[in-house]
Amino acid sequence: MLISYEAGHPQIAFSAGLPGGIQLSQLPNPRSVREAMASPHADGWKDAMDREMANLESHDVYELVPRMPGMRTLRLGWVLHRKFKNVVFEKNKGRLVARGNHQRPGIDYGESFSPVMRLESLRTTLALAAIRDLDVIQFDITSAYLHGNLKEEVYMEQPEGYTAPRKEDWVWRLKKGLYGLVQAGRTWNEELHAHMEGEGFTAMPKDPAMYVKSTWASRDFVAAGFWVDDCVAVGSRKELTDLASSVDAKYGTTGLGEVRWVLGMLLERDRPARTISISQEAFIDSILTRFNLTDATAVATPLTPGTHLSTTDCPTSKDEIEEMADRPYRELVGALAWLALGTRPDIAFAASSLARFGHNPGRIHWDAAKRVLCQ
């Protein structure tokens, strides 16, 4: 049984019929459609895929065209996972993705860069909201990538089980930025940027994913930052209402309300005291569990005093290299870097020092990285 507390009320998520008290969150997600259809939850996965196909059709993502001689097509795949919100099971989700690793640069796509809101911008915006007592909201844009229009000619095979009757050999010509395409993020960002500018917003020069309307001194000031499809906005109630309404009318939104969780961080606000606190405790707990350090003894410093990490500690023999081959060193250091950037600047030096050895970490580097988690 899983229990979470949302707005002061406990919510319980469990799955009846799972043997041995196994929780849904502990079950592995299917790695293929065949595996999903062979599981006891096949009906739920089929329903998730049906919803995804209906979603693609409603967004006019593709059109069926005859296969021409010499036509190059991309293959596709299904990403299936159980979606949880604050550890409470929400639904099975199926995402149809293109195998963009087979796209050719300069032919199937051009530019691919797409900005996201900087954490520094998020913290600055929240600090401004706390000091000036501004409202703070968040919302998610539904199926964000499916709104961006493709400029290139991209063709894809029809998904197995969803081929059109009497047109089984036809292919999809993609019109929108399907998930998995190299340029999908950029096409969505271009679409969003055009919409925000049309609503009178200006992108910040140092953070093009942060949009501001009016001036800093204006009573109607509003700033909105986007992390792909997640938005956090601060400002006057009227301006925030107008922003949310315009985005919802154009693209559709979910989760509109006072900010609570953003990018895996918990935000707690004391409005009378004009403070907003940010916590990554849930993320820290998850990586402690991931690396089996939940019962580790706490240490006073991220690195042992006097530690000097160097390339001389990197593996040189075949046995040493094989010993470290299955250690998720870069995954751990990446998690530490994210924490340092978010709410734990005290481990920034340790994380940056450890990141220097990601190409060939040794046992000493691995032990030092795990020690940081104990701090």
pLDDT digits (tens, 9 = 90+) for 318-333: 888 888 988 999 999 9
- Do 85 and 116 belong to one domain? yes
Do residues 131 and 84 make contact, with C-beta atoms less than 8 angstroms apart?
no
The backbone region for 9, taken as left when phi is positive above 0, alpha when psi lies in -120 to 50, beta otherwise, is: beta
pLDDT of residue 4: 31
- Do 269 and 287 belong to one domain? no
- Do 201 and 316 belong to one domain? no
Packing angle between helix 329-342 and helix 281-290, nearest 10 degrees? Answer: 170
Enter the tokens of residue 276: 């907003």
Tell me how far the alpha carbon of residue 167 is from its chain's centroid: 36
Pairwise CA distance, residues 269 & 292, whole Å:
32
Enter the tokens of residue 274: 């004009």
pLDDT of residue 307: 87
pLDDT band for 74, please (50, 70, 90 cuts): very high
What's the pTM? 0.81
Domain final residue, candidates 249, 276, 303: 276
pLDDT, tens digit, for every residue of 279-307?
A: 999 999 999 999 999 988 999 999 999 88
CA dihedral 342, 343, 348, 350 (to 10 degrees): -120
Pairwise CA distance, residues 292 & 22, whole Å:
19
- Do 165 and 227 belong to one domain? yes
Residue 28: count of CB within 10 angstroms of its CB: 8
- Do 21 and 158 belong to one domain? yes
- Proportion of the chain in helix, strand, coil states, percent, rounded to 5: 35, 25, 40
pLDDT band for 371, please (50, 70, 90 cuts): very high
Domain final residue, candidates 276, 295, 326: 276
List the domain range (segments joined by +) for residue 308: 281-373
- Do 171 and 40 belong to one domain? yes
- Do 301 and 268 belong to one domain? no
Please give the biggest Cα pair distance in the chain: 72
Q: 194-210 as b/e, with b when 16 or more CB fall inside 10 Å?
A: ebbeeeebeebeebbbb
- Do 241 and 339 belong to one domain? no
pLDDT band for 214, please (50, 70, 90 cuts): confident
- Do 187 and 331 belong to one domain? no
For the ranges 76-90, 162-176, 274-288, 297-311, the lowest mean pLDDT is seen at: 76-90
Domain final residue, candidates 276, 296, 330: 276
Do residues 83 and 90 make contact, with C-beta atoms less than 8 angstroms apart?
yes
For the ranges 19-28, 82-91, 127-136, 251-260, the lowest mean pLDDT is seen at: 19-28
Domain count, the chain: 2
pLDDT, tens digit, for every residue of 217-256?
A: 556 789 999 999 999 999 988 899 999 999 999 999 998 9
